[in-house]
Structure formats: C-alpha cells, structure tokens
C-alpha cells in the first residue's frame, strides 16, 4: 500500500505543478487554418497505421499515438485557442483538445475492422436479439455490464485524464510488469465452445472494473480486458474475443461522444479529406492486426508484448531525462 501511495504521489506532484503553471499562462489565439494545417498527409498516415496496429494489441494505442504526435512535432499547446471556434457547449477549442480528441475519433477505423472480422458473431447477436434468443440476451447483458464501469468513470473523469508522455512511459512499464506476473501466476483455462455466451454477471463486472484502469493513457484497454477475462476464469481465446466485443462498445461510445461534444467545431478543425484517409488506413491496419493477434496470443501468450512495453517505456524515460 505504501508503494502504491508513493507511485501516485510521484505521478501527482509533477501533474499538479504542470496544471498550476498552465493556469498562470494566458491563452493565445491561432486561426482555424493553423489547426487544420497540422493534419498533413504524413501525420494522418502515421496516426492511422499506429492506431490500427495497436488498438487491439495489449500495448496501448492512445499511448502510441501520443508518442507519434510528439515525434511528428504536433502542436498540442493547451494555451493556444482556435480563434472563433467553440464546441457544442460554447467553450473555446484549444490545440490540445484538437490533438487529443483526434486520438479518440480516429478509433472509428478500428471499429470498422471489428465489424468486419466479427461480422458473423455480431450478425448472430443481432438476429438473436430480434428473436429474444436467451444466448444473445445473455451476451448483450455481459457486454453491457462490462461496458458500464469504464463508460461512467470515463465520462466523469474526462476533463482530468492527463495525456502526458511521462505518464504513458510509466504506464507502459507497469503494464509490462503486470503481464509478466499474470503469465506466471494466472491459471490457463482450456477453451470451451461458445464460452463468451455463458459469462456470469460477476465475470462481466470483473472485466468491466479492470477496464477502468485503462483510462490512464499507456495502460491499454485490450490488456485490461484480456487479463480481466483470464482473472475471471475465461480461456485466453474467450477473453480475447470478449475484449473485442466490449471494445466495440466502448470505442463506439467514446468516439461518438467526442464527435457530438465537438459539435460544429468538428468541421472547422478537422479537414475532411485528411481525416477520412486516416480512418481508412486505421481500418485496414486494425483488420490485419486483429486477424494476426488472436493466433499469436494463443500460440505465444502476451509475454513478448510485456518486454516490448518495458523497453519502450524505459526508452521514453531515458529520452526525457537526457533532454
């Protein structure tokens, strides 16, 4: 418990200092064309590939897109307000919000990929709901229960989630260590036919609560739900499939909310052509990633992802310290 408190204090002190410094600075105005100019062909291609490849891998797509934006030199200054642009509630839109919301909105590409890969399962689910089939109703209930905790907590905390590259680095390392511990100590359950159709509400809630941890950038929603599923007693195959289904719900809700909250500002800060290209690239990359991931995890487990996370997080911290 003392170690957890120390970790939280370590993260909170620099964050509090950053917020205090931010509040002391006066905002600057930039034109909408400056915000739109940042969506270069290079950026949308890189962001689309990064989002698509990493969304369903246990490595954190949000964390990787924050890193890629930093490497590409994207201006996400919270003190730069886009002149004359306000969201649905009439609040000024900053360059920080333009960059952060795009990270969520581009997830529409990953959503399209899941719809294609799991079309048969989703078609079965929809037809079952129309017929009031007990198995379809049970799966819908399980997805809803797993979806609600992160959806509610994410909505309540949406203005307090820090998109910091340092926090991403720490979360990557911590997640990698958790994978190694889980691979060593979590029991490996044998796969059963239609396992995801028979989840109890306790299993679904366990997965949903674990997913809440993924609100911290760099943690990975896929990691949280897969390990949560295995902790709840699912096989690796069932935990991975259920992760995709819950992800479809949570990603759809988050992306639609961001689009709704932006309101008329959406068309003013995001160029249609570039944004659409990013979505298409993300969809193709996510499709290939999902098709590959299931087989890889069943064959190799998540250990390789753990070492990748630890190496990447460590490299980022070293880079930040040597700047």
Question: Is-contact 114 55, C-beta < 8 A?
Answer: no
The whole-angstrom separation of Cα 175 and Cα 281 is 27
Measure the CA–CA gap between 181 and 185, rounded to whole angstroms: 6
Q: Quick one: average pLDDT of 204-226?
A: 92
Are 265 and 230 in contact, with CB atoms under 8 Å apart? no
Residue 149 has pLDDT above 80, yes or no: yes
pLDDT digits (tens, 9 = 90+) for 221-264: 999 999 999 999 999 889 988 998 998 899 899 899 999 999 99
pLDDT higher than threshold 90 for residue 181: yes
In tens, the pLDDT along 91-121 reads 999 999 999 899 888 989 888 988 888 888 8
**Given a cut of 60, is residue 6 above it in pLDDT?**
no
Would you state the structure tokens that stand for residue 214, as one six-digit string? 């993924």
Q: What is the DSSP string of 84-137?
A: EEE-TTSPEEEHHHHHHHHHHHTTHHHHHHHHHHTHHHHHHHHHHHHTT-HHHH
207-225 per-residue burial string, b: 16 or more CB within 10 A, e: under 16: bbebbbbbbbbbbbbbbbb
Distance CA 201, CA 208 (A): 10
In the chain, what are the domain boundaries?
31-322
Average pLDDT over residues 60-73: 90
pLDDT of residue 9: 45
Confidence (pTM):
0.82
pLDDT at 25: 56
Q: Which residues pair with 28 in a beta bridge?
A: 80
Mean pLDDT across the stretch 305-314?
95
Any idea what DSSP says for residue 215? G
Largest CA distance in the chain: 61
Q: Are strands 28-30 and 92-94 parallel, antiparallel or unpaired?
A: unpaired
H helices present in 131-235, as ranges: 134-156, 165-185, 201-212, 221-231
């Amino acid at each position: 418990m003392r170690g957890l408190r120390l970790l939280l204090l370590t993260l909170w002190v620099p964050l509090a200092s950053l917020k205090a410094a931010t509040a002391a600075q006066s905002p600057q105005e930039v034109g909408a064309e400056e915000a739109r100019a940042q969506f270069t062909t290079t950026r949308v291609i890189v962001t689309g590939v990064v989002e698509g490849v990493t969304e369903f891998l246990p490595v954190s797509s949000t964390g990787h897109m924050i890193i890629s934006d930093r490497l590409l030199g994207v201006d996400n200054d919270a003190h730069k307000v886009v002149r004359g642009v306000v969201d649905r509630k009439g609040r000024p839109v900053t360059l920080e919000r333009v960059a952060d919301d795009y990270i969520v909105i581009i997830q529409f590409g990953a959503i399209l990929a899941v719809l294609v890969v799991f079309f048969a399962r989703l078609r079965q689910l929809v037809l079952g709901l129309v017929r009031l089939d007990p198995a379809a109703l049970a799966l819908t209930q399980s997805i809803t229960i797993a979806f609600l905790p992160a959806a509610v907590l994410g909505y309540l905390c949406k203005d307090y989630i820090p998109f910091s590259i340092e926090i991403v680095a720490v979360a990557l390392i911590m997640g990698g260590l958790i994978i190694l511990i889980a691979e060593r100590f979590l029991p490996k359950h044998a796969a059963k036919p239609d396992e995801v159709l028979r989840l109890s509400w306790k299993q679904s809630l366990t997965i949903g609560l674990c997913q809440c941890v993924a609100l911290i950038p760099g943690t990975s929603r896929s990691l949280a739900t897969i390990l949560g599923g295995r902790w709840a007693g699912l096989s690796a195959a069932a935990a991975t499939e259920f992760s995709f289904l819950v992800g479809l719900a949570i990603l759809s809700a988050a992306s639609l909310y961001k689009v709704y909250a932006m309101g008329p500002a959406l068309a003013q800060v995001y160029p249609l052509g570039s944004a659409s290209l990013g979505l298409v690239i993300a969809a193709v990359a996510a499709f290939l990633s999902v098709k590959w991931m299931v087989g890889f995890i069943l064959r190799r487990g998540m250990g390789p992802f753990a070492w990748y996370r630890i190496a990447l997080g460590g490299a980022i911290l070293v880079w930040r310290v040597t700047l």
